[in-house]
């Protein structure tokens, strides 16, 4: 991938809008689709959802944990999801939230951010809470291969504020992570490839994202209660780089492909204004 992730993402959003659709094969959703909570049910769910969603969104976000729960059979399904999504023209953001130090982080990097890796994605989520510098192997590999990273900053879960809202050197830990990402994106056009994860449910003005020059993954949209209006309140009028993420709110419309397609097109239109 010689074209930087930030450039590829900007092009995808311009073509398809900013919606990020999640593939979360939660056991409850498998049951709602009339499927068994095993590798066969996982495969039917994940591939069916990907076939419908991937052609309509800029970014598809499989949640790795729900595939890992089924062992090697689940990982094999995840590999097929990655291929299918790319064939449909979607960028794949693999939600793995990896974060470690030294050789362990380098091994995670080899698993997800190199061309030869079976689980190679366009971008992955990473956790900086062993120190932002611990992400260096991933940062270097992503830059070299034209891939992206989304660094957890201020997540949408209620307990996140306990750590992410703590103050250090006069700013919150979350703001420190945003500032570190901004430093990596400085000078990139149309934007850098180091994004941050900031929940759409946080308080307006809680973070200063003006210098980020990178994408923002915004979980909390849809099932967790945030609306398109909330996105503007939280992130301000300049929302072109915000990717609202929706999974359960879309996937509940399956297994009927037509209903799922109608849902993703409706939500895509709702958030399309953010990319203008």
CA terminus-to-terminus distance, the chain? 27
Q: Where are the beta strands (DSSP E) in 3-73?
A: 20-23, 59-62
CA dist 144 and 132 (Å) reads 18
pLDDT tens digits for range 254-270: 999 999 999 999 999 98
Number of domains in the chain: 1
- Angle of helix 136-145 relative to helix 102-112, nearest 10 degrees? 30
CB 141 within 8 A of CB 109: yes
As a whole number, mean pLDDT of residues 25-36 equals 97
Expressed as residue numbers, the domain containing 91 is: 5-275
Comparing C-alpha atoms, which of 269, 247, 263, 251 is closest to residue 93?
A: 247
As a whole number, mean pLDDT of residues 23-31 equals 96
Which of the 8 DSSP states describes residue 31? H
**Quick one: pLDDT band at residue 221, thresholds 50, 70, 90?**
confident
CB 201 within 8 A of CB 224: yes
Whether pLDDT at 95 is above 70: yes
Q: What is the CATH number of the domain that holds 69?
A: 3.20.20.70
CA dist 27 and 174 (Å) reads 32
pTM (predicted TM-score) = 0.96
- Marked catalytic residue, from 61, 97, 233, 252: 97
CA dist 106 and 137 (Å) reads 5
* DSSP characters over 59-122: EEEEBHHHHHTTHHHHHHHHHHHHHHHHHTT-EEEEEEEE---HHHHHHHHHHHSSTT-TT--S
pLDDT of residue 223: 63
Q: Is 252 a catalytic residue?
A: no
pLDDT of residue 276: 64
pLDDT of residue 49: 98
Which of the 8 DSSP states describes residue 219? T
pLDDT tens digits for range 155-170: 988 888 899 999 988 9
């Amino acid at each position: 991938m010689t074209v930087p992730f930030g450039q590829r993402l900007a092009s995808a959003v311009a073509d398809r809008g900013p919606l990020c659709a999640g593939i979360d094969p939660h056991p409850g959703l498998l049951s709602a689709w009339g499927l068994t909570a095993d590798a066969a049910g996982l495969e039917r769910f994940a591939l069916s959802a990907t076939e419908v969603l991937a052609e309509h969104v800029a970014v598809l976000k499989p949640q790795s944990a729900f595939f890992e729960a089924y062992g090697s059979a689940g990982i094999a399904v995840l590999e097929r999801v990655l291929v299918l999504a790319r064939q449909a023209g979607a960028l794949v953001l693999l939600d793995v939230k990896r974060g470690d130090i030294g050789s362990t982080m380098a091994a995670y990097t080899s698993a997800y951010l190199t061309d030869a890796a079976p689980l190679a994605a366009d971008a992955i989520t990473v956790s900086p809470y062993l120190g932002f510098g611990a992400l260096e192997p991933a940062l270097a590999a992503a830059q070299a291969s034209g891939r992206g990273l989304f660094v957890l900053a201020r997540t949408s879960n209620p307990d996140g504020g306990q750590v992410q809202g703590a103050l250090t050197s006069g700013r919150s830990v979350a703001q420190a992570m945003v500032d570190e990402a901004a430093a990596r994106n400085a000078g990139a056009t149309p934007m850098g490839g180091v994004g941050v994860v900031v929940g759409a449910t946080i308080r307006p003005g809680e973070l200063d994202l003006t210098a980020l020059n990178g994408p923002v993954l915004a979980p909390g949209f849809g099932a967790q209660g945030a609306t398109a209006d909330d996105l503007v309140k939280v992130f301000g009028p300049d929302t072109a780089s915000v990717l609202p993420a929706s999974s359960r709110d879309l996937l509940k419309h399956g297994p009927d492909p037509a209903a799922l397609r109608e849902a993703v097109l409706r939500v895509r239109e709702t958030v399309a204004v953010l990319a203008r």
